[in-house]
Structure 1
């Protein structure tokens, strides 16, 4: 909570204002000096005219009482000059009681006081003190003329000028400080408004936010995080032993590996899933993201940890995977039956060449469809790792495989007047699983047709680069935006498009190529087209080296 800043003006019982303090301090100091002189002079019988001296002291003391009683902050500052003017008269009486005692030096006190009130007061005090001094000298019959008669007025004027100059400098500095204070107050008010706005915004979102300063202390939590704390006792505290599990929902998370502990160590991470049991039958999944913060000098300013409830999202993904797996499993039975009957039909001797060719095409595509269903079953498991593609590589000619894919997909391309240019397809050897690699080529070429514009062009080429055999597929389609480029290989990811699909083709293709020790690269520009480049080992030796490197071992 912010402290309330009220009116700082003192009340009647509080400390006096600056003007009150100056008036009281000056007069009390002068009263103390003349009172001491009177007591000492009276005790030592050294006063020439005790009655006249006592009158002057009485007037000064009366001025001190007035300085304490009068509320100077409530009246015009001009009235403050009354007391030092009265003091000048009282000091004149003191000097007249004993001209040789040097009591005229006491005029320095009202001179200082009056000069601090402004230029007019300085001029008035200078003229008044000088005039009174010379008048008193003449009236008292002091005939000896020495430089002392000039020195004292000059000294009073110099003292007054010093007080006037110091007051002006102090006033200028006070004005500057007031302006700086105003600017700082405005900046502080703006910062407070921004802080309040940020706090209100963070309290309206549905994800939890924890702010950690450079010393590792939690300095801010929003309302959503407070909601998580209510549902998960001890949540957001390192010293609490909370039962939690990793992304798979079964592996316990060690205390040092908890997101908050990692954020306190200054680590950065994204989308770390942790499951928290709420009861025996209910759990909640939170996604954690941590980012380090820097101040305006580039130094560490702590970190921020964001927690988001992804239970519904994870449950939906699991339900989707279960549905896909169930549907794919149900498809395998009729596909197996279709393949069986097609095998029987191919074994028949009374088929005409044309019918046999058609049945053989149906049989070949049914086998491909069965392989795709098997891949969907693998891709729809709970694991985020590779689908565990099984391959049986052998030495083949990529040109034959690419041309066969072009032949089968040309019918689809012709329906939209899309031309397929395979003139740059050259004979190049590759050590791959032919069926799996055909699936990759069909997926990529099929996408090049599917996401192309009517009347567009698909260009295919093959070649080699070192130990790798390369397939390049370029299209003139809609292209892929930068933020979607890295995600097109994720399972079930669909870029913004009206083209139907399940988002598995490229994910399965990358896993198949990865199982060969190769890689798939994408270059794309929205509205211009995309280029997919597939690199696989050229021979058995290259395949062995690629697999060793892929596993992380030394070749």
Structure 2
């Protein structure tokens, strides 16, 4: 949409005024303009008339006061006549009569400057009636000057040249000012219509977005840059109770293990207000077994068109049914695996007896050896599945027997045991980074953690690569580091790496996908944390953080 030029605005002015006359609601604009202009001129004339009456007047008093009476009569008519009910051009009679009355007053005193009063009707005509009014002013001024010159028989003087020139300049200025004002008025009217249209469209879009958000079954919270909640949907009330710090006091919130309490400053909305972004954070709400619900929560930062921070959006989804189904699957798999373990143990025992029998032929012994290796592999898979079932938060914590342990010794022993396996692929295990690192942990479980990490570092390494292991401590916490120079882990795999039965990589190697899940559960059961840094094609680094001394409130 483009704005109208002043010429277009001026040409449309009469049409707009004509349309306005047809409105049911009366527009008193023309009445007000006529009244104000005429009263202003009449006021000035009254002052001049008073001065003439109080001082000697050099001129024809009768003719002067006739002009004054004419202006008074026109003013009275202006106040009485309903100009809005007449055609628009009829109001031009008023300034025309004013010019005639001022001409009479000027004739009454030719040497006076009463002709300056022509400025009032001239501005009215030129500004209120467009080009026709300006043309009428030019003709009127030319006629008046001619009449005055003929009646007074004077040479070209102030009245015959300077004053008409000033009047023409004032008339032109009034005309141009009015045209510019009309153009601005037209432009403002168009902009007002455009803004109303945009506002109506925005309200419709807002209504559609609101209806869509209220129709979905996941909670949405929009947080402003100053931390205030700006938008929520209906699902927020159902799902996200307890996300705020003041709500957490009434509804207990736990991490994905279902046992570790989430502090108020680590609640999702508090983290989002601090500027954090996170994906699929699972949290349990409520302590009652039958009434608990699990939500997966994602936070994303928002930016405005200038790139500045505009707040965040937090999305939550109820995954209680999914997690319950996964738990039921784990329990079923663990039950089946437990039933498989006893016959597998018996099979291995009888295989050992058959292989040790001196009467067994060598060809049969070779076949039995293959059977034994596969049975042992199957037994290891069953053991991993059972370990995964026992590594839940409810059972793993009670099975730990923590105490003071030197982490560097456990890591060194695990690295030594893995040297033979690593040598098959010319992989070097570097233990130069081992430093004294006391930890408060279960030695057997900690060895299981290190064995898992070192085994993965060898499995996913490149031939001829290196596995770096290290330990360090600051007195309150200790760290175990395992770094490889292997294939690395992609961004897509990283988010699901610690999920049970998930195996990363396009060419997934043999395994159950339980090792890292079990490892993280063991670390968390010790009150520690596990971190990962990885770059595809460069390698991966796993960092385990554990308490160096017994945590307060924990039993040894």
Query: What's the TM-score once normalised by structure 1's chain length?
Result: 0.67
Q: 1:284 aligns with which of 270, 293, 306?
A: 293
1:214-241 superposed Cα distances (whole Å, 9 cap, x missing partner): 2222221122213447xx4x76575784
Distance 1:257 1:333 in 2: 45
Q: 1:55 aligns with which of 47, 54, 69?
A: 69
Distance 1:39 1:491 in 2: 106
Distance 1:103 1:175 in 2: 38
1:377 and 2:386 are equivalent in the alignment: yes
Task: Quote the residue 1:252 is aligned against.
Answer: 261
Give ranges in structure 2 of 5+ residues lacking alignment.
Answer: 1-19, 401-409, 432-446, 470-481, 523-529, 549-556
CA contact (8 A) 1:38 1:57 kept: no
Distance 1:166 1:395 in 2: 97
CA contact (8 A) 2:68 2:101 kept: no
Closer, same or farther: CA 106–134 of 1 in aligned 2, 3 Å: same
Distance 2:138 2:499 in 1: 93
Give the stretch that moved more between structures: 26-35 or 121-130. 26-35
Displacement of 1:29 in angstroms is: 1.9
Displacement of 1:105 in angstroms is: 1.7
Task: Quote the residue 2:229 is aligned against.
Answer: 218
Aligned pairs for 1:467-486 (under 5 A) are 483-484=492-493
Q: 2:134 aligns with which of 96, 111, 122?
A: 122
Query: What's the TM-score once normalised by structure 2's chain length?
Result: 0.67
Distance 1:21 1:83 in 2: 13
Distance 2:247 2:495 in 1: 39
Task: Quote the residue 1:410 is aligned against.
Answer: none
Aligned pairs for 1:19-418 (under 5 A) are 21-38=32-49, 41=52, 48-49=61-62, 52-65=66-79, 69-71=82-84, 77-96=88-107, 98-116=109-127, 117-136=129-148, 138-139=150-151, 141=152, 146-178=157-189, 188=199, 191-228=202-239, 232=241, 238=246, 241-247=249-255, 248-277=257-286, 281-380=290-389, 381-382=391-392, 394=416, 398=420
Distance 2:214 2:303 in 1: 23
Closer, same or farther: CA 14–253 of 1 in aligned 2, 3 Å: farther
Kindly indicate whether structure 1 or structure 2 has the higher relative contact order, using CA contacts under 8 Å at least 6 residues apart. 2
1:74-116 superposed Cα distances (whole Å, 9 cap, x missing partner): x664444333223223333444555555332221111111111
Task: Quote the residue 2:515 is aligned against.
Answer: 508
Distance 1:520 1:146 in 2: 98
Closer, same or farther: CA 83–463 of 1 in aligned 2, 3 Å: same
1:505 aligns to what SS in structure 2? coil
- For the aligned residue pairs, the C-alpha RMSD in angstroms reads 5.2
Give ranges in structure 1 of 5+ residues lacking alignment.
Answer: 1-8, 403-424, 446-459, 475-479, 525-532, 536-545
CA contact (8 A) 1:28 1:64 kept: no
1:487-518 superposed Cα distances (whole Å, 9 cap, x missing partner): 46742237999x9x9996345389789x9x9x
Length, aligned pairs only: 475
CA contact (8 A) 2:253 2:283 kept: yes
Aligned pairs for 1:402-481 (under 5 A) are 462-465=463-466
